[in-house]
Structure formats: structure tokens, C-alpha cells
Chains A and B, each alone.
Chain A
Amino acid sequence: MAEVTPALAWYGTFMVLPLLAMIVLSFFTWNSLVASPKPSGLENYRYLFEDEILRTATVNTIAYVGVGLALIIPMAFLLGFFLSRRPPGHAILSIIFFTPWIVSASARAMMFTGLYQPAGAVNSILSLVGLEDWGRLWLADPSTALWAVIATEAWAGIGSTAVIFSAALGRIPNEVYEAARLDGAGTWREIVSIAYPMSKDFVGLMTMLQFLWLFLGSAGTVLLLTKGGPGSNTMTLAFYLYDQAFISGRIGYSQAIAVAGLAVGLIGMGIIRYAFRTKE
């Protein structure tokens, strides 16, 4: 007990106490660090329902997380299955696919800033193949900004998740696949009837983690790539929290957003848990 308590206490001080403070602060109006917070009951929560930007941020968050997960999880699973069967070149491919995971959000955003900029690689490639008309300011164009941001998440998420899947799928004994092949099962059947059912819990867990990374990581990614713009086209809940607290200085209100975000997060996690439930 004496050995375990310091670690628990440390974690509690920096993670659990702030969580409680967050809930308490959400009932205060506090618009500047030098002012003192004034209790204002449910005022912040009432404002949540009037706030147009919050509504946009919620819709954007659902798109961001939904599209992100729909791109990342199935593709990563298929790619992970492919790698786990140790095809020619799998070692070098695993190295390549895991690389984006070690590139920081900040470095990744700077790389994509270079690719998306007016004279950047994406527009150059388009004009090279005769599609100049498709060229645009990817991050400043309202019709593409959100998708351009999500693409940077998928770029990094698919590969690293795939390599982790392949490490987990590699634990399925080869005999299981051999037996299935004797019964005439093709590759698709192996994926659907063996690999997926045998790793369903793990896929569910990775989906949960990826959900949290997308949901909360969007604060950093959006801050780095677009600052929520153009307009509020790339505003997400996590970035809006950051924006209200540190840019607009509405500390109390930002914590009401955090509580609302926590509720959305718990609902999302509940949905994922339900989707990957295993029959007892």
C-alpha cells in the first residue's frame, strides 16, 4: 500500500482533482484571471443552448470523430490483418506505417501546412495531372477545410493502428487459419470469421482509444492547422473549449463546455462499447 499510494496520489492531484474543479467552475461566471469568480448557477449551461458556435462545434465534432473512425478503424484492421500474415515486405512496411505515430501533432501539422499551402504539393500534383481547377486553399476554403484536417488524422491514424492490430492478430495461431483453409475458406472468410471475431475486444478497445484521440486531439490539431476557421468551419468541441478559456478568456463558460464535452464523450464511449459487445 505504501508503495502504490504515491503514484495514485500523484495521478489524483493532477487528473482527478482538476476533474472535480472543472465541474465546480462550470457554475461560475469568471471572465478574467485577475477577477474573482462569481457564482452564477446554471447560467453557463443555459447559454450552451443558445450558443450558435457550440452547435456548429458539436456538428463538426460528430463529423470529425465519425468520419475519422470510419476511415481509420476498418482500413487499419484490414491493413493489420495483411501485415499479420507476414507477406513479403511486411517488416519494412510495418516500419513505414508506424512512423506517423512518432511524429508529433505539431510536426505533422507543419508538414501538412506545407502540403496544403497555395503553392504546396497537393496543388502542384493536381496541376501536373491537368486538374488545376481542383486546386484551392485547402485549409482556408469552407468546403474543404474540415475534411483537410480530418485527412491529417487519418494519415497518421491508419498506419499506426494497423501495426498495433497486426501485433495483436499475430497471436492467432496459424493452425486456425490452416484448418479454415482446408474447409475451403478464402481470405475474406478468414478476416470475417476468424481474425475479427477473435480480436473483437481488442478492436473495440482501439476504437475507444482512437475515439478519445480524435475527440480531444482535435483541440491541438485544429489550433495548429486552422484555429477553427475559416469562420467556424473547423470549430470542434475540444478546440472551442480551448478557444473560450485561453483566447476569449471566458473561463467559467469554458468549463460548462468541458462538462458538455465529457457527456458527449461518455455517450460516444457507450455507443462504441455497445457496438463491440460480445455475447456472454
Chain B
Amino acid sequence: MNRRRSRRLRRRLAVIAVYAPVLAYAAAIIVPLYYLLVSAFKTNTEIALDPLGLPDVLNFDKFAQANRSVELLAASGNSLFTALGSVVVTIALAAPAAHGIAKRAGAFSTFAQLLFGLAFLIPQFAVIVPTYLLAVRTGLIQVPLVFLILFYAAMNMPVAVLLLIPFFRAIPKEIEESAELDGAGALARMRHVLMPIVTPGLSTVAVLCFLAAWNEYIFAQVMTNSSSYTVQVALPLLRSEGAFQGANVDLGRLAAGVIISVIPVFVMYAILRRRLIDAFAAGAVKG
């Protein structure tokens, strides 16, 4: 009797010992995000006096201020344009490549797949200077957002191809052959027969590529200027230079800016969370 009770106590202690650090870390993620969210609706005095309390009224002044001082909405528009554009280019090139690799077994296919796998390990950042010089030499630096579209497409190419290969491999040969017998050309087969079947794969890849492009910071920082800032480049401008020497910032305004910049990705995450994680895990496995 006594022994059973002590065993139960031990098990309960074990559960607490496991859950305590897990929940502490979960709190370390949630509390700062919550702090940011409520701060965006408060005055800076309210933030200082009652950091975690809910705001008394939903005050959108800080959002308006954040937008006015660094034109965050215009910058979000630039980001949206760049991210969508790069997704289109990525898919247009990656889908045929994945199809080619999936359907034609041979030395070239194996080699191409290996190259894209290795490409995972070529760090983009290492080539930031030559990439900048490429933009200058081709004159594309005059249209930074177009250059970013082309560049992000290249940056996302390996992961897009690798993720799409298994989707194309899963299509039975017969489907494509019968379309071929019906006289459909390669392009028509891709558009009307294959694309609809691999839509789940395409949408996952599209979302991953969109997120990567939307969130990219350092290349956008180097390429864009004040008339073409993306949202990631405009956001840090909300903080004064003095902050680097330890001055306080207008936290409410900064928080409002952060929220504007993360809304699109949170919406996508809410819709496609499961698929994203699976895709990421699978992509990482195959890399």
C-alpha cells in the first residue's frame, strides 16, 4: 500500500519535472509575443506601469504612427509584390525540373538531384557581395524589387525542386501516357494533367517560398532604397539609432510595426501549419 503510494508520488514528480521546463519555454515564447501585442494598443506610460495588463481601450494610434513614420503599408506592398513574383518564377522553373528528374531515371537526373541537394549547403549569404555587383552591372539595381524576385527564385529553387520530386514520382505513368496518346503536347500535359494532381505539393512549396521571401532581410537591406524598402527593411527603422547605445525606444510604435509585419505570415501559418512542418521535415530529410 505504502509502496504503491510512493510510486505514484514518484511518477507525479516525474511528470512535473518534465512539464515544468517545457511549459517554462512555452511561456518564454508566448509571453513576449503577448507583451508585444498588448503594448501596441497602449501608451508608453501604460506599458511601463502595467506591462502585461490588457489595454483599457483598443487604441490604433500606434499603428497609424508606425505606418506614417516609415510607410510600413507601402513597404508591405513591396514585400507582397516581391514574394508573389518570386513564387511564380520559382514554381514555373521548379515544377518542370522536378517532373524531369522524377520521370526520367538516368545519370543526368541523379546528378541534377544531387546538385540541388548540395545546393542546400551553399550559403546564400556568402555570395551577397557578388550578387550585389551583379545587380549593379546588369542595371537591375535600378529596379531592386525585380532583382529580388529573380534572386529569391534562385534562393528557393533547390528546396522547391526537392520537395516537388516525390509528388511527381507518385503520379502513375499511365496517366501521362494516355494524355500523350490523346495528342497533348508537353506544355498542355503539364498544365492540364500534371499540375492539378500535384496541387497539394505546389501549394506547400508556394507557401514555403512565400514565407522565405517575405521574411528575407539582409539581401533586401542591401538592394533596396527608401522608395523600394521591403517590410523587413522598413521595420527596424522604427527604432532610433540611439537604441544601439542603450536609449529607450517608442515600444508601442515598434510593437505595432512588428505586428503589421507578421500578420500575413501568421495567417498563412494558421491555415497551413501541419503541411508546412511536414514539408519542412521531409525537405530536410531529403537534403
- B130 A8 Cβ-Cβ under 8 A: no
Contacts of B244 in A (CB 8 A): 139-140, 226-227, 229
A182 lies within 8 A of chain B by Cβ: no
Given A106-B261, A216-B126, do A6 and B97 touch, yes or no (CB 8 Å)?
Answer: yes
Does the CB pair A104–B123 fall under 8 Å?
A: no
* Distance from B172 Cβ to chain A, minimum over Cβ atoms (Å): 19
Q: Out of B108, B109, B124, B266, name the residue touching A15 (CB < 8 Å).
A: B124
Interface residue? B215 (CB, 8 A): yes
What count of chain B residues pass the 8 Å CB interface test? 91
- Contact residue among A103, A216, A251 (Cβ-Cβ distance under 8 Å from B129): A251
Given A98-B277, A106-B232, A106-B261, also A18-B127 (CB < 8 A) = yes
**B109 with A105: CB separation less than 8 A:** no
The segment out of B1-9, B32-40, B174-182 that lies at the interface is B32-40
Judging by beta carbons under 8 Å apart, are A82 and B22 in contact? yes
Residues of B close to A77: CB separation below 8 A: none
How distant is the Cα of A19 from the Cα of B36 in the complex, in angstroms? 40
In the bound complex, do residue A216 and residue B122 qualify as a contact, i.e. CB atoms below 8 Å apart?
no
Q: Which residues from chain B contact A206 at a C-beta distance below 8 Å?
A: 284
Q: Nearest chain A CB to B111's CB is how many angstroms away?
A: 9
B281 and A97 contact, CB distance less than 8 A: no
Q: Is the beta-carbon distance between B284 and A82 smaller than 8 angstroms? A: no
Query: Cβ of A167: which chain B residues have Cβ within 8 Å of it?
Result: 277-278, 280-281
Given contacts A6-B96, A15-B122, A242-B218, contact A114 B154 (CB under 8 A): no
Which residues of chain B are within 8 angstroms of A105 by Cβ–Cβ distance?
Answer: 215, 217, 232
Asked whether any CB of chain A lies closer than 8 Å to the CB of B112, the reply is yes
B221 interface residue per 8 A CB criterion? yes
> Is the Cβ of B29 less than 8 Å from the Cβ of A21?
no
Contact with B along A55-73 (1 / 0, CB 8 A): 0000000000000000000
Q: Which of A7, A202, A258, A262 sits near B285, CB closer than 8 Å? A: A202
* CB-contact partner of B249 in A117, A216, A219, under 8 A: A117
**Does A271 make an interface contact (CB < 8 A)?**
no
- Is B158 an interface residue, CB under 8 A from the partner? yes
Contact A19 B126 (CB under 8 A): yes
Bound CA–CA A1/B216 (angstroms):
31
Chain A residues contacting B222 (CB-CB under 8 Å) are: 246
By beta carbon, the residue of chain A nearest B212 is A104
What is the minimal beta-carbon distance from B272 to any residue of chain A, in angstroms?
11
Q: Determine the distance from Cα of A15 to Cα of B157 in the docked complex, in whole angstroms.
A: 11
Q: Is the CB of A95 within 8 A of B157?
A: no
Tell me how far the C-beta of A195 lies from the nearest C-beta in chain B, rounded to whole angstroms: 15
CA–CA, A164 and B284, complex, Å: 9
Query: Across the interface, which residues of B come within 8 angstroms of A40, CB to CB?
Result: none
Assuming the A-B contacts A21-B130, A261-B126, are A137 and B284 also in contact, with contact meaning beta carbons closer than 8 angstroms in the complex?
Answer: no
Tell me if A7 and B161 are in contact (CB < 8 A): yes
Whether A121 touches B134, Cβ cut-off 8 Å, given contacts A114-B254, A140-B245, A258-B129, is no
**Contact A96–B30 (Cβ < 8 Å):** yes
The answer to whether A7 and B254 touch across the interface, beta carbons within 8 angstroms, is no
Q: Which residue of A lies closest to B103 (CB)?
A: A3
Interface-side segment among A45-53, A173-181, A207-215? A207-215
Q: How far in angstroms is the closest Cβ of chain A from B65?
A: 15
Residues from chain B with a CB closer than 8 A to the CB of A25 are 129-130
The answer to whether A276 has its CB under 8 Å from any CB of chain B is no
State whether the Cβ of A107 lies closer than 8 Å to any Cβ in chain B: yes
Central interface residue in A94, A119, A139, by most chain B CB within 10 Å: A119
Which of A4, A164, A216 counts the most chain B CB atoms within 10 A? A4
CB–CB B217/A220 < 8 A: yes
Q: At the interface, yes or no: A150 with Cβ under 8 Å from chain B?
A: no
B251, CB-defined interface residue at 8 Å: yes
Bound form: Cα–Cα A107–B261 in Å: 7
**B58 → chain A closest CB, angstroms:** 20
Chain A CB within 8 A of B28 CB: yes
B214 interface contact, C-beta 8 A: yes
A residues in contact with B215, CB < 8 Å: 102, 104-106
A13 at the interface (CB under 8 A from B): yes
Is the CB of B60 closer than 8 A to any CB of chain A? no
CB nearest neighbor in A for B129 = A245
Q: How far is the CB of A1 from chain B (nearest CB, A)?
A: 6
B→A interface (CB under 8 Å):
18, 22, 25-26, 28-30, 32-33, 35-36, 39, 48, 51, 93-94, 96-97, 99-101, 108-109, 112, 115-116, 119-134, 136, 150-151, 153-155, 157-158, 161, 211, 214-218, 221-222, 232-233, 235-236, 238-239, 243-249, 251, 254-255, 257-258, 261-262, 265-266, 268-269, 273, 277-278, 280-281, 284-285, 287
Pairs A–B under 8 Å by Cβ, sample size 13: A7-B97, A8-B97, A11-B157, A14-B127, A14-B134, A98-B277, A106-B217, A114-B251, A117-B243, A212-B121, A216-B125, A227-B244, A246-B132
The 9 closest A-B pairs by CB, nearest first: A3-B100, A18-B130, A14-B154, A7-B97, A18-B127, A104-B215, A137-B246, A167-B281, A140-B246
Given A98-B273, A159-B25, 12 more pairs with CB closer than 8 A: A4-B108, A6-B96, A21-B130, A79-B22, A104-B265, A107-B261, A110-B235, A114-B36, A115-B35, A117-B247, A212-B123, A254-B129
